[in-house]
């Protein structure tokens, strides 16, 4: 079989890139063995503000302008609900933080995202005497539902191979990609943390960070906003909430740990004062990079082999943005932004 692309990995990066292939009538095959959990266990927030320092996320407006229409398109085509519009409230710890918020809200990159109104706390189960600041134009993408629906659609179209990718069977010659009985013009690796097993890109400067989340049931809490204060609390249906997240750089397994559970419960009990039950705990390894920018571009030898990786903790925002850049780089010869081009790490 001859196709335009082989795509390895169908997390946030892979889904985003496949959307550009579909939009441009490119033929492709996807390989995915469900070994990477970072996208599936992601909180899914899109939030254009770094709430620890009240600064703008890199290219936040540009990212949202690309990402939200792409998710709307997937919703429409796959008949699933993915985009849940929900405000993010940042709990203030002091009057000084309130003042810092007001100062930040006057900055050009932040003025459209930071409300100038202090929201008073009226929930008896939350201790917030200084109130909250509201981040505008925020929401949550149900990443797990999206990936499951996307994979089901690929299965129906017979273009999804749910098996490990055998790198030893891959051959690059005469500007073509040969893999078993497949022949493609290009191959894109969007494997997340799995790239560490890829002999062609195993030395990329990935700085993986394991993250764990809790799912709790708290019927008395009754909040309809994301609460950020040390940990974050994201409402789900049925009085359930996501509590996250931890960061671990040594243990890079997908196993949940008691230490992460204890850490999250400690932060949660400082944040809310009501009964709750932990109903689930999940873990995944985020593909982060030391300079907090994605890894995008061509292999230094094989010019029709590409990487799309390193989305980090804000994958729902940045994934579609860098996927578009990679597609235009491959098909239209448009240079990648230097900030994301993998060649920035060449010596």
Domain 2-42+144-206+290-345, architecture per CATH? 3-Layer(bba) Sandwich (3.50)
Q: What phi and psi, each to the nearest 5 degrees, are found at residue 257?
A: -130, 150
The structure tokens listed for 22 are 């579909």
**For every one of its 347 residues, what pLDDT tens digit does the chain have, with 9 covering 90 and above?**
999 999 999 999 999 999 999 999 999 999 998 776 676 567 899 999 999 889 999 999 999 999 999 999 999 999 999 999 999 999 999 999 999 999 999 999 999 999 999 999 999 999 999 999 999 999 999 999 999 999 999 999 999 999 999 999 999 988 899 999 999 999 999 999 889 899 999 889 988 889 999 999 999 999 999 999 988 999 999 999 999 889 998 998 889 999 999 999 999 999 999 999 999 999 988 888 988 899 999 999 999 999 999 998 899 999 999 999 999 999 999 999 999 999 998 75
Residue 192 CB partners (closer than 8 Å, separation 6+): 9, 11, 13, 36, 38, 39, 285, 287, 309, 311
Instruction: Render the burial of 136-171: b for 16+ CB within 10 Å, e for the rest.
Output: ebbbbbbbebbbebbbebbeeeeebbeeebeeeebe
- Sorted by where each begins, the domain ranges of the chain are 2-42+144-206+290-345, 87-137, 209-286
- Cα angle, residue 281 at apex, residues 293 and 261 outer, rounded to 5°: 90
Secondary-structure class of domain 209-286 per CATH: alpha beta
CA distance 182 to 1: 5
Q: Please state, in angstroms and as integers, the Cα–Cα distance from residue 237 to each residue in 9, 46, 79, 216, following that order.
A: 29, 18, 19, 11
Q: Whole-model pTM above 0.85?
A: yes
């Amino acid at each position: 079989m001859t196709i335009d692309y082989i795509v390895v990995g169908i997390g946030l990066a892979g889904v985003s890139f496949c959307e550009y292939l579909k939009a441009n009538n490119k033929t492709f095959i996807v390989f995915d063995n469900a070994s990477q959990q970072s996208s599936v266990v992601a909180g899914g927030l899109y939030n254009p503000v770094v709430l620890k320092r009240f600064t703008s996320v890199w290219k936040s407006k540009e990212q949202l302008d690309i990402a939200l229409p792409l998710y709307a398109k997937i919703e429409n085509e796959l008949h699933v609900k993915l985009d849940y519009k929900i405000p993010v409230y940042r709990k203030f710890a002091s009057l000084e933080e309130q003042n810092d918020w007001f100062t930040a809200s006057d900055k050009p990159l932040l003025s459209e995202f930071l409300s100038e109104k202090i929201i008073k706390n009226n929930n008896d189960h939350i201790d917030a005497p200084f109130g909250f600041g509201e981040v505008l134009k925020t929401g949550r993408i149900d990443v797990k539902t999206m990936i499951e629906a996307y994979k089901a659609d690929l299965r129906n179209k017979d273009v999804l191979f749910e098996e490990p990718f055998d790198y030893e069977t891959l051959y690059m010659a005469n500007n073509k990609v040969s893999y078993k009985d497949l022949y493609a013009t290009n191959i894109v690796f969007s494997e997340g943390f799995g790239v560490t097993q890829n002999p062609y890109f195993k030395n990329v400067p990935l700085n993986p960070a394991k993250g764990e989340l809790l799912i709790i049931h708290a019927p008395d809490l009754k909040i309809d906003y994301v609460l950020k204060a040390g940990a974050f609390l994201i409402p789900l249906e049925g009085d359930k909430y996501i509590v996250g997240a931890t960061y671990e750089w040594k243990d890079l397994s997908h196993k949940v740990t008691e230490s992460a559970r204890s850490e999250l419960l400690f932060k949660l009990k400082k944040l809310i004062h009501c009964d709750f039950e932990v109903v689930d705990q999940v873990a995944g390894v985020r593909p982060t990079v030391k300079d907090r920018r994605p890894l995008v571009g061509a292999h230094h030898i094989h010019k029709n082999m590409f990487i799309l990786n390193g989305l980090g903790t804000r994958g729902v925002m940045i994934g579609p943005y860098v996927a578009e850049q990679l597609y235009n780089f491959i098909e239209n010869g448009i240079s990648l932004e230097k900030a994301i081009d993998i060649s920035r790490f060449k010596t």
